[in-house]
Amino acid sequence: MRILWLKTDLLHPVDVGSKIRTYYMLRELKRKHEVTYLTLDDGAAGPEAYRRADEYCHELIHVPHTTTKKFSWSFYCDLAKNVLSGRPYAIDKYRSADFTDTIGRLIRTKRIELVVCDFLHPSINLPSALACPMVLFQHNVEAMILRRQFEVQTQPITRAYFRQQWRKMREYERDACRRFDYVVAVSENDRDVMAREYGLTQIGSIPTGVDTTYFRSSGCIKAEPAHLVFTGSMDWQPNDDGMWFFVKEVLPLIRLKLPNVKLTIVGRKPFPRMEALNRQDPSIRITGRVEDVRPYMEQASAYVVPLRIGGGTRLKIFEAMAMEKAIVSTSIGAEGLPITDGLDILIADTPQAFAAAVLRVLNDQSLAKRLGDNAAAMVRNEYAWDRVADSFVNLCERACRSSLRATA
């Protein structure tokens, strides 16, 4: 097949969950099909983003596009203007007439046989009609994320804004999903939600995967007692919210029983309030982006995922499992993953329950080892990326066959 893959950013560095999933899917697709990668480009990527594109596509085409920097004066002005728009801000900011024109031109000149829209966001630029099948690769149920953001807000104006954004996203996501010949979700839970909420019938799911060769304990770094770690992009609102919740509501409860507990938060572009924690509390370390998360994970005695909002599935949990870490997560943090509370992970949702679960694994080395061993065995046996990528390829090929039958 000749595939046109639509994205809103370049892939390298492959340092966040969404990019990791896309990278492995594309790398597998490229082995069997001809892939053209069309993306918006804000100019922020380094040279490797262009130089290494041949790892996952045969041709990279990038369309210049600028989005407003978060927390700038212009950013807040754009948020205010979006109140009058019928579309959510997270979608509106990626509108590009040049991107739309390029899609049409590539379909004509390259005789594209399948268009894959990676995430919902590029869909704002799809031409009104395409002469080939379209697949939507849904890493999240976007409306679910906004609904959860709305639900945890306490400031009235912020709460009202997120409530409006949730409602607009729900309407946009429903209508956009129905345009596609097939939708691929990243968990059975997301698949069922979209099928029920949006009335979708042509929808399937693939599991989350992990590079089980890369994410493996080196055996060279000894875990430090009473040391916790979290890894994830800190410019993603659910991660920021989760770690703020942990620091303010959970960590003080842990310190009542374990005063020497330490926390390391690893991830790119932390928001200002998180960066300030470095200065306010010497027991909390905020690293920003790192080249390799594995040493930080090995240093810790437990891995925490205290998310309260979000969607899709967390690759970070599978990575920690492959590293044989004892993991404590909220139900939302572990949502959509084939895990078992008490067997390969501990699940807790209130501050008191989360603190108690963390204390259990920090104080009981045999429990921590059992959780880590069970988790590693599970992901290594079932969720290596090659299996997951094959599932994605099969769904794309099924979408093409279904479309051909419908037009025959």
Query: Cα–Cα distance between 305 and 328 in angstroms, integer?
Result: 6
Print burial letters for 323-351: b (CB count within 10 Å at least 16), e (below 16).
bbbbbbbbebbbbbbbbeeeebbbbbeeb
Give the range of the structural domain holding residue 242, as residue numbers without chain letter: 227-382
Same-domain pairing of 239 and 369 = yes
Tell me the Cα Rg of the chain: 21
pLDDT recorded at residue 312? 61
Same-domain pairing of 124 and 109 = yes
pLDDT recorded at residue 403? 67
DSSP summary character for residue 261: -
For 289, what's the count of Cα atoms within 13 Å in the CB-facing half-sphere? 8
The domain total for the chain is 2
Same-domain pairing of 60 and 204 = yes
Same-domain pairing of 299 and 389 = no
pLDDT recorded at residue 202? 92
What lies within 8 Å, CB to CB, of 401 at 6+ separation is none
Quick one: how far is CA 41 from the chain centroid?
19
> What is the identity of the amino acid at 89?
Y
Same-domain pairing of 100 and 146 = yes
Same-domain pairing of 264 and 199 = no
Query: Cα–Cα distance between 96 and 86 in angstroms, integer?
Result: 17
Residue 251: which CATH number?
A: 3.40.50.2000
Residue 220 counted as domain residue: no
> What are the 10-residue block averages of pLDDT along the chain, 408 residues in total?
96 87 90 95 94 97 93 91 94 97 96 96 94 93 93 92 96 97 92 96 90 88 95 92 97 97 95 89 94 95 94 83 97 91 97 98 97 95 83 84 62
Residue 214 counted as domain residue: no
Same-domain pairing of 156 and 232 = no
Same-domain pairing of 154 and 243 = no
Same-domain pairing of 48 and 195 = yes
Residue 215 counted as domain residue: no
pLDDT recorded at residue 324? 96
pLDDT recorded at residue 143? 95
Residue 352 counted as domain residue: yes
Residue 222 counted as domain residue: no
Same-domain pairing of 205 and 286 = no
pLDDT recorded at residue 407? 55
Residue 343 counted as domain residue: yes
Residue 219 counted as domain residue: no
Residue 217 counted as domain residue: no
